[in-house]
Amino acid sequence: MFDEAGSGDQEKITPQNAGYRNPLDEIMKANREEDRLQEEKKKEITSKWMEGQGPEAEIVISSRVRLARNIRNIPFPPLASDEQRKKVYTLVEKNVQGKLGKKDKLKMIETSSLSPVFRQVLVEKHLISPLLAKEGYFSALLLREDEIISIMINEEDHFRIQCLLPGLQLERAWQEASRYDDFLESQIDYAFHEEKGYLTACPTNVGTGMRSSVMLHLPALVITNQIKRIFSAINQVGLAVRGLYGEGTEMIGNILQLSNQVTLGQSEEEIWQNLYGVTKQLINQEKKARELLQNEGREKLADRAGRAFGILKHAYMLDSQETMKLLSDARLGVDLGLLKRISLKALNELLVLTQPGCLQYLKGAELSPYERDLERAVQIQKYLI
Amino acid sequence: MKPARDAEKNINGPGKMLCERCGKKNATVHVTKIVNGNKSEYYLCEDCAREKGETGASWEGKFPLQQFFSGLMNFLPPDSSKAVVSKGYSGLQCPVCGLTYTQFCQVGRFGCAQCYEAFGQNLLPLLRRLHGNQKHRGKIPARVGSYVRLKREIEQLRQELNEKVAAEAFEEAAVLRDKIRQLENESAEGGEDHVR
């Protein structure tokens, strides 16, 4: 250990005691046992969709399709009694779980069995909604081992079937979600109306009950000031733009979420194909803007990425906004082959790992915003060693 | 009624202000609360907003859609000479879950599947405004499927038939007509069990 007083030995001059000591170094070597535990927890936080693979993965982080479904003759969850919520829960427990083949198997996790901080982790991983995280009574999550399929039970609707894939894979996401929908329907009588389609608690979901979305990283369009113009164009084609964590979140880290708004009167294919078409166009625009920036000076971009990497690796305190910006800068560098010391997978994982819930889960304690900024820097340093 | 308003707004760009709670970070969340008609507003940073539970969706008070809906529901389409919003309108109630139409307008959520029937025609302007459409054209559950699918097929064929007639392709039209008759017979036989 460090120079212990009274050890008697003559003090040697080493880099460690020569001068300034990095307090973070001491924090980081402090507890091996904690490290081991944290490695386990990190495995729980990382997910298949973060692997940085799939079509157009350098711009499209993930694709998602979710279907809202309800059981006939049971009030929707917001108005259902505890007894009725329990009925839904038991129905799933008896008729859904265990009837799926080995490959399709879903694990049923009751929300109330999870700690609040772990629920937050699941929200940050995009596996459950903030609403389900709050909803304790007889709500649950059905999760496939690879985490690509998740079904929320007793959220705003009785079922929210979700398929989350890396890269631009909307068709596959729709097919996979639909396959689970078929299975659920074989076991459960859905609330369905000939004219209005699948009936949902919120009129914005009625019809197909389908929300398809893509998570896009569009730094060059932001740098070249084109993003505002694109926003208004997107709204005109019936799509909604949101930040990384959905409704009410702003665009940080140059990441935005694009999703369909209309669910009634269009077929599922039309819905995802429309989103796909717009996404493709945005990808092209972004690529053009990236080319433009490179022509203006590759060195500038390399410098930007290198600086971001440097700060990520050496900062003592990082708030979430700065972190997202740095991750975005580094990501652009990686995409353009200008930064090779970090992978897309690492950037995706860090995106989630540095969120407040994950940091508190890793630390095993509640952290104030100030403490989180410290912990965020520690976790990023550990990750980048 | 109150106009549509967003309960949470993001403040971007110039004119940044500091969070009213911690006074340290930039306020990025604008919270407007209306409780029993009393309005209060504050500007928070992301962290404080999260701690106070002011972000994210919740059933009561915080959800921007709610206010949005109450605005939408009372919207009168300019071309409707007869007011869709009539007096008896707010007295509607779902016989199954007990949700009234007024409550629906306030929360923007249905209580159960039967609400869609109970509020009937009144929902059409809303659905049209939300979706630009009133009729489902997507997936059909296999269970109710055979009947609905048949009906949809007949509709499709009728449309084709009209096109053929318009184009004076009478032979093809005759084939379509026979096919429609056959399908109609099938739906008359098997259909009744499948109607909701």
Note whether A255 and A274 are within 8 A (CB).
no
Q: What is the mean pLDDT of residues A8-33?
A: 58
- Residue A309 has which token pair? 């990497």
How far A248 CA sits from the closest chain B CA (Å)?
7
| Separation between Cα atoms, residue A280 and residue A260, nearest integer Å | 15
* A318-336 tens-digit pLDDT: 999 999 999 999 999 999 9
In angstroms, how far apart are the furthest CA atoms of chain B? 80
Q: Does A204 touch chain B (CB under 8 A)?
A: yes
Q: For an interface test with A, which of B69, B70, B110, B152 has the most A Cβ atoms less than 10 Å from its Cβ?
A: B110
Of B47, B56, B55, B19, the residue nearest A372 (C-alpha):
B47
* B81-102 tens-digit pLDDT: 333 444 445 578 899 898 988 8
pLDDT on residue A149: 96
Note whether A212 and A174 are within 8 A (CB).
yes
Share the mean pLDDT of chain A.
89
Of A134, A77, A114, the residue nearest A92 (C-alpha):
A77
In A309-338, the residues whose Cβ lies within 8 Å of chain B are 319-321
* A165-214 tens-digit pLDDT: 999 999 999 999 999 999 999 888 899 998 899 999 999 999 999 999 99
How far A221 CA sits from the closest chain B CA (Å)?
16
Going by C-beta distance under 8 Å and a sequence separation of 6 or more, which residues neighbour residue A241? A231, A234, A235, A251, A256, A257, A258
Give A199 or B37, the one with higher predicted confidence. Answer: A199
B79 has pLDDT over 60 = no
In angstroms, how far apart are the furthest CA atoms of chain A? 88
pLDDT on residue B2: 40
Q: What is the dihedral of CA B64, B67, B71, B73, to 10 degrees?
A: 90
| Separation between Cα atoms, residue A119 and residue A123, nearest integer Å | 6
Going by C-beta distance under 8 Å and a sequence separation of 6 or more, which residues neighbour residue B82? none
* Cβ pair B50:A268 closer than 8 A: no
pLDDT on residue B9: 42
| Separation between Cα atoms, residue B26 and residue B30, nearest integer Å | 11
Q: What is the H or E stretch that residue A165 is in?
A: strand A159-166
B191 has pLDDT over 50 = no
pLDDT on residue B102: 86
| Separation between Cα atoms, residue A209 and residue A60, nearest integer Å | 24
- Residue B130 with chain A: CB contacts under 8 Å: 203-204, 261-262, 264
Would you give the distance in Å from CA A70 to the centre of its chain? Answer: 25
| Cα A225-A230-A236 angle, rounded to 5 deg | 155
Confidence band, pLDDT 50/70/90 cuts, at residue B129:
confident
pTM of the model: 0.75
* Cβ pair A76:B12 closer than 8 A: no
How far B91 CA sits from the closest chain A CA (Å)?
19
Q: What percent of chain A has pLDDT over 90?
A: 72
How far A355 CA sits from the closest chain B CA (Å)?
11
Give B51 or B130, the one with higher predicted confidence. Answer: B130
Buried b vs exposed e over A276-292: b needs ≥16 C-beta within 10 Å? bebbeebbebbeebbee
Is the sign of the CA dihedral A357, A361, A366, A367 positive or negative?
Answer: negative
Count chain A–chain B contacts defined by CB atoms under 8 A: 152
Q: What percent of chain B has pLDDT over 90?
A: 8
Of A256, A238, A237, the residue nearest A247 (C-alpha):
A256
Query: What does R_g of chain B's alpha carbons equal in angstroms?
Result: 25
Nearest chain A alpha carbon to B108: A202
Q: What is the mean pLDDT of residues A232-244?
A: 82
* A116-132 tens-digit pLDDT: 999 999 999 999 999 99
* Cβ pair B8:A130 closer than 8 A: no
